Amino acid sequence: MKVGIDAISFYIPQLYLSIESLAKNRNIKPEKLINGLGLQAMSLPDVNEDVVSFAANAVYTLLKNEKLNSSEISRIYVGTESGVDASKPIASYIISLLEQKMEQSFSHCDALDITFACIGAVDALQNTLDYIRLNPNKKAIVVATDFAKYELNSTGEYTQGAGALAMLVTSSPSIISFSENAGISTQGVFDFFKPRRYFDKKDLIFESNSKVLNNISEEQVSIYKEQPIFDGQYSNSCYINRTLEAYLHYKKLVNKRETLFTDWQYIVMHLPYCFQARRTFIEIYIHEKGYNIKSSDDKKLIAKSEEYLKIIEEKIAPSEKASSLIGNLYTGSIFMAMLSALCNSYKEKIDISQNKIGFIAYGSGSKSKVFEGIIENNWHNKIAQIPLFETLLDRKEIDFSTYEKLHKKQLKHSISTNSNKFELDKIEKENPLLIGARYYKFID
């Protein structure tokens, strides 16, 4: 029995900052980021947007496009590392918003968030694939939603991005079916993480007689920040080690002695920045070829070889096109890479039916999974309905000053004017029984 993705939708915020603008204002040569890392633009949420609204918009679009009602969806599982609450999952928000808009009940729909850095949505997908294998008459939705936000002036700033994807998982899928096996490599490390950060209460500045201060009984206060703690070089090393180990594990599971990736039409990897795949897949390529590398210069020569450049052009570059215009989507980046490759194939009229896609996922902390998918015969009819590149070209560019104000949360009113979407309405600040509750509305 085949199990996989029957339909896909996405939501990318309307606002973006050009990488050239960021580079010039950070005194970085633009070509270093544009030509060196493949970056062109970063997607940014407006004042009234967050990962909940991204996800709800992606799921609502999916249901509307597929003409599905609530009774047909048995679960909504979300992969994210940008949760808005330490207890209440994004999935529960999604169900609530869908019920408001569709006037249908999702009370019998299972809902869950899964977190493991950037691989959480892959975990959600594989969990759901197993569920459909056991329940082939059911339909489920997997969502990846995130906002990759970094400190101003940090080395991660130019990799920022935001958005969500929603995928309908069924038996007899129209777009892609997946293998049951997955190569795995896991190790507990601190290459990238978002800890609670603790401060002595006496060192924090509050207004006198502050309600906030008076309501805190602990001597230390924990603060959560959207921006991570990370070590770029170490994280890159972990990425390479985990993905190579998972790749070799997958080969062992499927008893493949010959080169595995030559079977793949496309190589789809987690893209924290656009050119990450082409820069790191060289390690797998070298291992498969059995090259004896004695220095970094040897590796550079191989990376510039005609054979490796052909692999990049044919198997990796199609998956990079959307990433260059969006930035890092954390849990969604590998699925946006997949969608990019599929949309590019449709646009270029390339028939890829029954060909394989190799997936190489990674999440900091750290874990990699490698698995395969087979492109189904009806893929082009479903992809024809997805205006990915058209949407990315129809966004609103903001200037650098506006970007910094958005980043610092200094703007009070939204900039974009798009309608027909969910957006954040307010966050409760007064009612002691609902402090921090987030409320959303649909803008017609």
- Residue the block writes with tokens 């009113």: 413
User: In the beta sheet, which residues pair with residue 44?
Assistant: 15
Secondary structure element (H or E) that encloses residue 46, with its range? none
User: In the beta sheet, which residues pair with residue 368?
Assistant: 185, 362
Q: Is the pLDDT of residue 96 over 90?
A: yes
Q: Is the pLDDT of residue 366 over 70?
A: yes
Measured between alpha carbons, how far is 266 from 349 in angstroms, rounded to an integer? 15
Q: What is the pLDDT of residue 205?
A: 67
What are the Cα distances from residue 43, in Å, to 107, 338, 357?
Answer: 34, 18, 26
Backbone angle region of 120, left / alpha / beta, with phi > 0 → left and psi within -120 to 50 → alpha: alpha
For the chain, domain boundaries: 3-191+231-443, 196-223
| Helix and strand element counts for the chain (H, E) | 16, 19
CB 247 within 8 A of CB 221: no
CB 370 within 8 A of CB 183: yes
Secondary structure element (H or E) that encloses residue 196, with its range? none
Q: What is the pLDDT of residue 212?
A: 66
Q: What is the pLDDT of residue 421?
A: 96
Average pLDDT over residues 5-32: 98
Q: What is the pLDDT of residues 168-195, one digit of tens each?
A: 999 999 999 999 999 999 999 999 999 9
Measured between alpha carbons, how far is 102 from 63 in angstroms, rounded to an integer? 10
The closest of 84, 69, 142, 165 to 424, measured between CA atoms, is: 84
Contacts of 388 (CB under 8 A, 6+ apart): 10, 322, 339, 340, 343
- Residue the block writes with tokens 């656009």: 274
Measured between alpha carbons, how far is 255 from 266 in angstroms, rounded to an integer? 21
| DSSP result, 264-311 | EEEEEE--SSTTHHHHHHHHHHHHHHT----SHHHHHHHHTSHHHHHH
Q: Which two tokens stand for residue 386?
A: 């997805």
Q: What is the pLDDT of residue 294?
A: 84
Q: φ and ψ at 71, to 5 degrees?
A: -65, -15
Average pLDDT over residues 222-251: 95
Q: Which two tokens stand for residue 393?
A: 């070209």
- Homologous superfamily (CATH) of 3-191+231-443 is Thiolase/Chalcone synthase (3.40.47.10)
User: In the beta sheet, which residues pair with residue 17?
Assistant: 42
Query: How many Cα neighbours within 13 Å face the side chain of 165?
Result: 28
Measured between alpha carbons, how far is 155 from 231 in angstroms, rounded to an integer? 10
Average pLDDT over residues 415-426: 92
Q: What is the pLDDT of residue 202?
A: 79
| DSSP result, 316-350 | IHHHHTTHHHH---GGGHHHHHHHHHHHHHHHTT-
Q: What is the pLDDT of residue 351?
A: 95
Burial 206-240 (b: 16+ CB within 10 A, else e): eeeeeeeeeeeeeeebeeeeebbebeeeebeebbb
> How many Å separate Cα 43 from the centre of its chain?
12
The model's pTM is: 0.96
Dihedral, 79, 239, 86, 54 alpha carbons, nearest 10: -40
CB 116 within 8 A of CB 367: yes
Measured between alpha carbons, how far is 157 from 200 in angstroms, rounded to an integer? 29
Q: What is the pLDDT of residue 216?
A: 74
Helix, strand or coil, per DSSP, at residue 140: strand
Measured between alpha carbons, how far is 291 from 299 in angstroms, rounded to an integer? 9
Burial zone of 198 (CB within 10 Å; 0-12 exposed, 13-18 middle, 19+ buried): exposed
pLDDT-derived band at 211, boundaries 50, 70, 90? low
Number of other residues whose CB lies within 10 A of the CB of residue 39: 29
- How long is the chain? 444
CB 81 within 8 A of CB 194: yes
Measured between alpha carbons, how far is 25 from 17 in angstroms, rounded to an integer? 12
Q: What is the pLDDT of residues 253-298, one digit of tens each?
A: 999 999 999 999 999 999 999 999 999 999 999 999 999 988 889 9
- Per-chain mean pLDDT for the chain: 95
